[in-house]
Chains A and B, each alone.
Chain A
Amino acid sequence: MRSLLLEGSLLAYLIGTVAGGLALWRPRDGFRHATMLALLIGMVLQGSSILARSAASGGIVVRSFPEQVSFFCCLLVAVHLLAQLRFRLSVLTAVVGPLAFIGSLIGLVDQGAVANVPESFKSPWLPVHITLAFLGNAAFALSFLVSLAYLWQERQLKSRAISQWIRRLPALESLDRINFTFLSWGFVLLTLSILSAVVWAELSLGRFLAWEPRTTWSAIVWLIYAGLLHARVTVGWGGRRAATLTIIGFGVLFISFLGINMLTPGQHAVAYG
C-alpha cells in the first residue's frame, strides 16, 4: 500500500516533469495547469505514504537519508506550489519537477522495517520541529534556485548576450523580489523550528539545548540569513550581492544537512539513526 502510494507519486512527478518541460518550451496555460495538477497529486500521494509510515512507527519517520530526501522533496513541492499562487515561475517548476521525481525515487529505496523510536522522540514537538525545519529548508532551496536564475540572467544582461531561455525568466527585479519572499519565509520557518527544538529539549530532555555540531551549524545558517535580510531592509542590499549570499547561505545549509548529519555524532545523529 505504502509502496503503491510512493510509486503513484513517482508517476505523477514524472508527468509533472514532462509537462513542466513542455510548459517551458511552449508557454501555454494548458501545460502549466497540467504540471501543477501532476505535482499536486504527486505531493499528496508522497505525503500520504510518509504519514502512513509515521503512523505505523508512532513518530515522524525521517530516520534514514532516503526518508529525509523524500520528506524534503514533498515539502519542496508543497512550498513551490504555494509560491506558484503568487508568482509565475515556469523555470522553477521545470527544476522542481525533476528534483521531486529523483527525490521520491531515492525515497523508494528505503522501505525497510520501521524501527521503534526512543520514548523522548515520541513527543509531539518533534514532528513540529522537523516539519518546520524541512519547510524552511525547502523555502531556502527555492530562494537558492531563484538566485541562480537571477545570476544567470544578470550575467547575460551584463555581457549583452541574451539567450532565448532567458526570455522565460521573470525580470531581474521580480526574481529579486521573489528571492526576498522565499528568504523571509525560510527565515521565519527556521527561527520557529529552532524555537520548537528548544521547547522539545526542555520538555523531553529536561535541558535547554545541547550544543552539538548540528545546532551550531543551524545557528551559523540563521546568522547568515539574518544578516542578509537585515542588510536588505536597512541598506537596501539586493540584486547580485543578495543572490550570491543566498547561494552561499544555502551552501552552508546543505553542507550542515548532509555532512554534519551523516559524519558527526550528536543529538540529531541519534535522532536520525
Chain B
Amino acid sequence: MSEQKKNRIRPLRVSPTGKDPLEVWVVGINHETAPIELREKLAFPSGELGDLATRIIASTGAEEVVVLSTCNRVEILATGSQKLELAGPLTEFLSGEAAMRTADLNDHRYVYRGRDALKHLFRVASSLDSMVVGESQILGQLKEQFRIAADHDNVGSLLRRCFEHSFRVAKRVRNETEVATKAVSISSAAVDLARRIFDDLSGKTVMLIGAGQMSELAAKHFMGAGVRNLIVTNRSFDRGVELARRFDGTSVPFDRYQEYLPMVDIVLGSVAADGAILEREAIAPVLRGRRGRPMFLIDLGVPRNFDPTINQVDGCYLYDIDSLASVAQDHRAERAKEAAKAEVIIHEESDSFWEMLHGNDITPTIVALRGKLEGIRTSELDRAKTVLRRMDPEDREAMEAMTQAIVNKILHIPFSVLKDLAREQDAGGASEAKDFVHHLFELEMLYEDKSKGG
C-alpha cells in the first residue's frame, strides 16, 4: 500500500468493453531501420498529425493514438484492447499512406508492445534512439506532437501517463548522465563543418530557407559561432519576418530568395515541400558568380529540399541530415559510456513504470480481497466479543494482533502471485487470475452488496 501512495496511482482507463485492459503498441520506422527515401515518403507535416491519429483510430480499432513524425522517425504509438493485435493494422495503415506494399514496409518497420513499447518511448524521449545520441530537439518534438494528439482527443489516460512519464525519464537522464551535455546536435555538427570550409564565420552570411523549429535551432548555433548576417525566407512571410527580427537579420520574399544566393555562404533548407526546391541548374551559375568562394548547403528537410547532385558542383558542399549525423559520430564514442548509464536508467524506469501500471491493475482485486478477509475477521471478533470482554486488555490486544497476522499470512502468497502475474509481459495471466479470485471469494458480490446498501 505504501508503494501505491508513493506513486499516486490513479485507476487505469478501461476499454469500452469494460474488462479488457489496454496494451501499448509502437509501430514505426527510424533512421536505423529505413533509408531516407522511405522516411521521406512517410514524413507527415505536423499540421496533419491530429487528423492522421483520428483516422488511425477509426481504421485500426486502436483506443488512443499519438503519431510521432520527425526527420529521423515516423512512428505510431497506440493503445488497444489486449485481445487486439495492432501491429498488422498499423503497418497496413502506414504502407497505405506511403502507397507501398505492406510486405516492403515490413522489412523496415519495428514493432514493440507492452513493456518494450514503454522502453522504446523512454529511449526516444531521452534521445538514446536519436541519430545523434543526446541531442535535445527530440524531447521538444515529442512534447509538441503529444500535445497535438491530446488536442484532437486522441489520447486517453494510459498514453497520457506513458508520455508524461517519458518526459520525466528524459529529465532524469539529462540530470544524471552526461549524454545531453556532451551531445552534439545536428546543428552543431553543421557549424563544425562550416568551420572546416570557412576560416572566419563572422563575415559570412547564412540564409534560412524555411523558418521551422529545426532551422531556428541551426540559426542559433550559427549565431553562437559568430555569424552576424542572417537572411530568412519563408513561405509565410510574416513568420519569416518574425524569425529574422529575433536574430537581427533580414527577411526576403520566398519567391525571390534565389536572387540573394550569390551573397550567401551557408544555406540552410528546412522547407516542407514535396520535392527539391533548389536544383543544380540554379546553383551552378551562383557559384560562378561567387568567384570561387565555396558554398555550404545544409539540407535539414525531409523530404530533401536540395537536389543531391548539387554536391558535384565545384565549391559546393551539400550535407543532408544523414551525412551530418555520420560526421557527428566521432563524438559518439565519448558518449557511449554515458549512454550506457542512461540505458540503465531507462531499464529501471520502464520496469518500475510497467509494474506501477499493472500493479495498479490488480490493486482493486487486492483491496477487495483484503477488505473481504478483514470483514470476516472483524465480524468473527465481534461474535466473540462476550468472551473477549472477559479478557484483560493485554490479552485482547494479543488476540487482535494474532487474527490480523493470520489474515496477512493467508493473503501473502496470493498477493505475491498476483503481482508476479501482473509483471509478466502477457497481461492475460493476471487478468484470468483476477477473474478467478473475484469468483472464488465472491468479490463481485461484495461490490454489489455495497452498491445496494448505498
A residues apposed to B, CB below 8 Å: 153, 157-158, 160-162, 164, 166-167, 170-174, 177, 232, 235-242
Contact = CB atoms under 8 A, between A and B. Distances in A.
Given A157-B317, A160-B319, A239-B314, A171 B197 contact: yes
4 residue pairs, one from A and one from B, having the closest CB atoms: A236-B291, A238-B292, A174-B199, A160-B323
A233 to B, nearest CB: 10
Contact of B315 (A160, A166, A177, A240): A240
Nearest to A153: B196
Contacts of A173: 197-199, 293-294
Given A160-B327, A170-B199, A172-B294, 20 more contacts: A157-B197, A158-B317, A162-B193, A162-B196, A164-B330, A167-B196, A171-B196, A171-B197, A172-B197, A173-B198, A173-B294, A174-B199, A232-B292, A235-B291, A236-B293, A238-B291, A238-B293, A239-B315, A241-B314, A242-B292
Contacts of A240: 314-315
Contacts of A237: 292
Contacts of B311: 158
Taking residues whose C-beta sits less than 8 angstroms from the other chain, chain B's interface range is 20 to 34
Contacts, number: 55
B13 interface: no
Contacts of B404: none
A131 B198 CA distance: 36
Nearest to A172: B197
Chain B at the A interface: SS class: mixed
Nearest to B195: A171
Contacts of B326: 160-161
A237 B314 CA distance: 11
Among B196, B290, B314, residue most surrounded by chain A Cβ atoms (within 10 Å): B196
Interface string B104-147: 00000000000000000000000000000000000000000000
A168 B323 CA distance: 21
Interface of B: 193, 195-199, 290-294, 311, 314-315, 317, 319, 323, 326-327, 330
A162 B327 contact: yes
Nearest to B265: A173
Contacts of A177: 199
A257 B196 CA distance: 35
Contacts of A242: 292
A26 to B, nearest CB: 17
A39 B311 CA distance: 41
A199 B293 CA distance: 41
A166 B323 contact: no
Nearest to B197: A172
Contacts of B199: 170-171, 173-174, 177
Given A157-B317, A160-B319, A172 B292 contact: no
A242 to B, nearest CB: 8
7 contacts: A157-B196, A160-B319, A160-B326, A172-B294, A236-B293, A238-B293, A242-B292
Contacts of B323: 160
A88 to B, nearest CB: 11
Among B199, B311, B314, residue most surrounded by chain A Cβ atoms (within 10 Å): B199
A157 B312 CA distance: 12
B35 to A, nearest CB: 16
A153 B195 CA distance: 12
A232 B292 CA distance: 9
A171 B314 contact: no
A172 B323 CA distance: 19
A229 to B, nearest CB: 13
A240 B317 CA distance: 12
Contacts of B197: 157, 171-173
Given A160-B327, A164-B330, A239 B294 contact: yes
A166 B330 CA distance: 13
B311 to A, nearest CB: 6
Contacts of B294: 172-173, 239
Contacts of B293: 173, 236, 238
A237 B196 CA distance: 20
A15 B216 CA distance: 50
Nearest to B328: A162
A8 to B, nearest CB: 38
Nearest to B327: A162
A177 B195 CA distance: 15
A239 B195 CA distance: 16
